[in-house]
Chain A
Amino acid sequence: MNRMLTLWVSLTLSVLLLAGCSSTPSGDRQAGADVSEQSTGAGGQDGSGASTSAASEGAAWTGDPLENPNSLLATRVIYFDFDQSTVRADYLDVISAHADYLAANPQMVVRLEGHADERGTREYNLGLGENRANAVRSLMMAQGVADNQLVVVSYGEERAAAFEHNEEAWALNRRVELVY
């Protein structure tokens, strides 16, 4: 069950990643910053270059990059494995995109809200949620985000996203939410 959810999350994420890549010239490192420059066309990358496809991909995004639904920045929740506060490899690109955006926009502040599933004691889970938020914070700081742009708050298990008592709900609750 848990594996199915992980799979689902990974698939969703892959779609997001693909969407992100298609709108940026080199989707690995500069994703977030590049989106804000709005200098590239998605359609141009694959050579077939029909302007219609470029338009439908939202490549000409002119609004706030944080609002771009096709950007990696649109992913605001990082999920974690049971009893773990290590960021999973499949989220490194998302965190990297946010870090680039924050580094390029030093006036921006993000709250990193750490959460845990309901299993185990409440105060220990507060610590676990904070560890998760701190793991995201460390990765972002390593990419040049300033300390005062990152506010860590742990809610432990006090603010569940899903209320059932099963693996699916627990997987949705073990998370760090990025709140701009």
Chain B
Amino acid sequence: MKKFFWVLILTLIWLPSVQADLTIEITEGVEGALPIAIVPFGWQGAGRPPVDVSAVINADLQRSGRFKTIPQADMLSRPTTAEEIQFKDWRALDVENLVVGQVRPQGTGGYEIRFQLFDVYKGEQLTGYTIPTTAPNLRATAHRIADLIYEKLLGIPGAFATRVAYITSVKQDDGTQRIDLNIADADGYNPETIVSSTEPLMSPAWSPDGRKLAYVSFEEGKSAIYVQEAYTGRRQKVTSFKGINGAPAWSPDGRKLAMALSKDGNPDIFVFDLGTKKLKPLTRHYAIDTEPAWSPDGKSLVFTSDRGGKPQIYRVSAYGGPAKRVTFQNSYNARASFSPDGKLLALVTREDGSYKIAVQDLDSGIMQVLSQGSLDESPSFAPNGSMIIYASKAGYRGVLAAVSVDGRVRQRLALQEGDVREPVWSPFKK
């Protein structure tokens, strides 16, 4: 099989208000990517548009690995409306699909984006919308357009208009570490810090509605689990028992948090009802039980346990009962999470002394290793199940990386400064 290897620096931004600028590189592409042309959108305002909308759409589709976008330099014409399109110009380039559009100012601070997607060979429009938006939302609207194009052509929803939460650690001038919990767009833009601490922060988890994050903070000198509204900053301390308060995981209905607590002597899985504030033990074993994750139907959970000597993944009913081991390949398997369709588990596995990201098919039990690092961890599925974002190491720094679930497309999201880790992909916006 012939593979294309290429490195593309797609984006490089500088935001003076935040220290986090992300570089996204596609480190490995895939043969069979769909050729598509995103023609630069027309601009009907004064000066330059605040955001190059077509460039954002282009970068999203390219980054997914499922599309091969045509460089502007190769385009024979630059239509911005349906009337201006000469389909033969695009057939000559072997382009199968074409996107044209325009951005125009609308009222004070408003914009209107119009776009149309065409099948070049049939010469037909496949979809088209006119979307009103505002200056701060121009990038978000561009991601939504990329989602619409992705879904129209591939039949599954795009996950570009989503966000990623992650932890950064930056060494300060006085030698201490500053640990931040951040949220950024899925392409790394618009990073915002929502919690900042000199003590460790870990294990962020999105609520199913994408509005809250649960996480672990050591700000009081020991671990405690907090739930914070991502966009208001309001937060509450959920548990701060003696010992470990760790690994919060939201139930699919958003009403409960599964977690690991060692208040009774060693870490076991508990389920905390956020409404009634009642805590229910789910596992009880002298081994380490941690890293719970709910199945999408909410009927069962997987968790990591070393009850067999080494960490392996076990599955237990959400109503309790015996746990059944589900991983048997390799001597170390941990931090499993379900794919959105519930068919796969993403997990960390140790192979030849290296820690890598793998997926295991729950029906067949077959495991496929997807990543190539030696210290990879924290896999998190995109909400459409197409990609897994995870933490990796590049030299002395932690970086974020993503891989398609078939292992054929890889990309790296590198922060310019400090250590980046524990990425978690948000659910779809609701």
Residues of A at the B interface (CB closer than 8 Å) are 118-124, 126-128, 130-131, 134, 152-156, 158-159, 163-165
Query: Does B223 reach chain A (CB closer than 8 Å)?
Result: yes
Inter-subunit contact B290/A123 (CB<8 Å): yes
Which residues from chain B contact A118 at a C-beta distance below 8 Å?
A: 375
Inter-subunit contact A120/B218 (CB<8 Å): no
Q: Which of B97-105, B111-119, B243-251, B320-328 participates in binding chain A?
A: B243-251
Residues of B at the A interface (CB closer than 8 Å) are 200, 202-203, 218, 221-223, 243-244, 246-247, 260, 262, 266-267, 288, 290-291, 304, 306, 311, 332, 334-335, 348, 350, 355, 374-375, 377-378, 393, 396, 422
Inter-subunit contact A121/B200 (CB<8 Å): no
Q: With A and B bound together, what is the CA distance between A121 and B332 in angstroms?
A: 10
Inter-subunit contact A124/B375 (CB<8 Å): no
Inter-subunit contact A124/B396 (CB<8 Å): no
Inter-subunit contact A159/B200 (CB<8 Å): yes
Q: With A and B bound together, what is the CA distance between A153 and B422 in angstroms?
A: 21
Inter-subunit contact A123/B203 (CB<8 Å): yes
Inter-subunit contact B260/A127 (CB<8 Å): yes
Inter-subunit contact A121/B335 (CB<8 Å): yes
Q: With A and B bound together, what is the CA distance between A163 and B304 in angstroms?
A: 26
Inter-subunit contact A122/B244 (CB<8 Å): no
Known: A123-B203, A124-B335, A128-B288. 12 other contacts (CB 8 A): A120-B334, A120-B350, A121-B311, A121-B377, A122-B378, A127-B267, A127-B288, A127-B290, A131-B266, A154-B244, A158-B202, A164-B396
Q: With A and B bound together, what is the CA distance between A163 and B171 in angstroms?
A: 12
Inter-subunit contact B203/A120 (CB<8 Å): no
Inter-subunit contact A127/B244 (CB<8 Å): yes
Inter-subunit contact B218/A124 (CB<8 Å): no
Inter-subunit contact B291/A152 (CB<8 Å): no
Residue of A nearest to B203 (CB): A123
Which residues from chain B contact A163 at a C-beta distance below 8 Å?
A: 396
Which residues from chain B contact A128 at a C-beta distance below 8 Å?
A: 288
Q: With A and B bound together, what is the CA distance between A51 and B173 in angstroms?
A: 47
